Chains A and B, each alone.
Chain A
Amino acid sequence: MKILVINNDGGGFADHVEIAEGTTVQEMFQQHVKNGRPADYLIRVNRQPVPADQVLREGDRISFTPTKIEGGWTIAAS
């Protein structure tokens, strides 16, 4: 099934991806945010906060946004 994944870390990735049935929010997080801890991210499914074990469904929109984003004149590697 297809869902929209938005990773607002770094360059801001947003794309539709194919996932297996029964994939949870936590599994998606681990796949897309390699070195992050869930506590350091705002995780939303269809724009709402969700528990880590929630199973994703066809057409869902999941987003990961870091809670701390350093401002200033440094350019993030994209």
Chain B
Amino acid sequence: MNAQQRLALRAAQVLHEAFSCRAAHGRYLALPDAAWASCRRLVHLIDKAKLRGWAGAQQKLEQHLIRSDAECVDELVQVRQRLEDGHGASDVASERDIFADLLALNTEFEAVQIDIRETTIAVEMDRIVLQGIDLGPFRIVLDWSNLSHHWPYEVIAQDPNPAASSADTTHPHVRDNHLCEGDGRAAIRSALRQGRVLDFFILVRQVLESYSPDNAYVKLRDWDGRDCADCGRTVNDNDCVTCERCGTEICSDCATSCTNCSEYFCSSHIASCPSCDDPYCKRCLAACQACGGKFCKECLDDEKCPTCRGRDEDVCEYQDGPDEGDELDAVDATDANDTTDSDASFHPLRLGQAAVLA
């Protein structure tokens, strides 16, 4: 027996103990309490995001909800399977079977590492290329001290080529190093429950080598695209604009060009001038000195908006008469005449009072 076989034998003994221990002492029927709590929280957050019109946030939360919802269903399916089949220590593969599995891993994978101290078995896969997109090689790491956890293993990209819209998505079905097992879920869980180590790694590999566009975190056709921060749609690079103010990426439908500087901005950093209604970025709007409202420079005169200017003119006319004071030099004669015999010549506050008193 060589060193590799001796290591595999020792690992087989430890693994058999771990799988048997889990089968014997793990909770026989575990309801999906944590996943359900997560679903409830996410539904609450989605409602909030929807109410506030945060389309991007809503879309991301819905993705998380799909995941939590699937975890609930999966755990309930496992409960049903246990009730129907019953499971005990006798279902667990023997030390001899696990030993044979560990040796066979070397014929199925590029490299295999067994680390008894770290309680892990890791296998290296070749590069994965799906629909012409090279996602790089992947490493599958099973931690047998975590067998009772929902995610006892990780799928780690070794030379990651993540989706442009999500740095955590290294494969259409892998996010945060967790594989969305999809159609492989029941078989993977069954292999893990029974200690069929070889089947477990092969099943995970086959899921990684397959692609299901309808259930992908990010579709391969959008792999190099970006998520619009405003509407949440994934768009390709050519249809993507960066907000000049905050740097978020938005699609050309959501980007608005400032009338003054012509730069593009997201919905959070563009506003309309209340006077002319044209879109301006916040830098190109200035405050009216009188009312504090933000207006474009075209609509401000002497740093005052048209409404406040009109009021000033009325006040001045009331207090000083049309022929006195420098300010009145600028007043249009027609406007002055229009307001001479009107209550509108009062200060707005007084005007309001006058209206109420009347």
Contacts and interface: CB of A to CB of B under 8 A. Distances in A.
B101 A14 contact: no
A42 B203 CA distance: 10
Interface residues of B, number: 44
B203 A11 contact: no
A8 B67 CA distance: 23
Contacts of B215: 70-74
A11 B187 contact: yes
Interface in A6-58: 6, 8-12, 14, 42, 46-48
Interface in B176-208: 179-191, 194, 196, 198-199, 202-203, 206-208
Contact of A10 (B101, B173, B186, B194): B186
B73 interface: yes
A32 B208 CA distance: 25
B326 interface: no
Given A70-B212, A71-B173, A73-B70, A12 B206 contact: no
Contacts of A6: 196, 199
B74 interface: yes
Nearest to B73: A75
Contact of B199 (A8, A72, A76, A78): A8
Contacts of B74: 75
A74 to B, nearest CB: 5
A47 B104 contact: yes
Contact of B182 (A8, A46, A48, A76): A76
Contacts of B207: 69-71
A68 B208 CA distance: 9
Contacts of B185: 75-76
Contact of B180 (A10, A67, A71): A71
B179 A65 contact: no
Nearest to A71: B173
A58 to B, nearest CB: 16
B184 A76 contact: yes
B199 A65 contact: yes
Contact of A73 (B66, B100, B172, B190): B66
A74 B183 contact: yes
A9 B100 CA distance: 22
B76 to A, nearest CB: 10
B118 interface: no
22 contacts: A9-B187, A10-B186, A10-B187, A12-B186, A12-B188, A12-B189, A42-B202, A46-B100, A47-B101, A47-B104, A66-B206, A68-B209, A69-B184, A69-B203, A69-B207, A70-B210, A71-B179, A71-B182, A71-B210, A75-B186, A76-B184, A76-B185
Top 6 A-B residue pairs of the complex, sorted by shortest distance between their CB atoms: A72-B215, A71-B173, A12-B190, A12-B187, A70-B212, A47-B104
Interface of A: 6, 8-12, 14, 42, 46-48, 61, 63, 65-76, 78
